[in-house]
Amino acid sequence: MANSIYDFKMNALDGAPIDFNKYEGKTLLIVNVASKCGYTPQYGDLQKLHENFGDKVTILGFPANNFGGQEPGSNEEIAEFCQKNYGVGFQMFEKISVKGDDQSPLYAWLKEKTGEEPTWNFCKYLVKPDGTVKFYPSKVKPMDDEILKEL
């Protein structure tokens, strides 16, 4: 198991590898996303957070099909959907599993740190540079005071 969030390496939506050590010293908001969910409009809020507070928080989106089959698309389809519908400019990654037997090591690490794993799409983990991690359920929107006060 990784000691730090900065020990991870994962592929971007276009397949390019990203070493998380490039995020060292930054506050991260890690979100499991889906294109066909009641919470999908949060993509718009995530983009707004990225545009308005990008100097204070780095958003990392992880498409996952763990809940209700709400992210059935390929990485290419997900990229097209995000750009066309929400103008997503924050970092998106390849589709992963966020719970279960095939859970991504990143999400296993987040679960170990918080005791929480995603219960649905658009759950959020706020990772501070000091290593503290806070979990927010889907119903907490990216622009809610609960998150903004932590930035």
Q: Which helix (H) or strand (E) is 66 found in, with range?
A: none
Q: Which residues contact 69 (CB under 8 A, 6 or more apart)?
A: 36
- CB 7, CB 37: distance < 8 Å: no
Please name the helix (run of DSSP H) or strand (run of DSSP E) that holds residue 17, with its range, or none: strand 17-19
Please say if 37 is a catalytic residue: yes
Q: Could you say which of 37, 82, 106, 126 is catalytic?
A: 37
- Residue for token pair 């296993």: 108
The tokens for 66 are 């763990």
- Active-site residues, by number, are 37
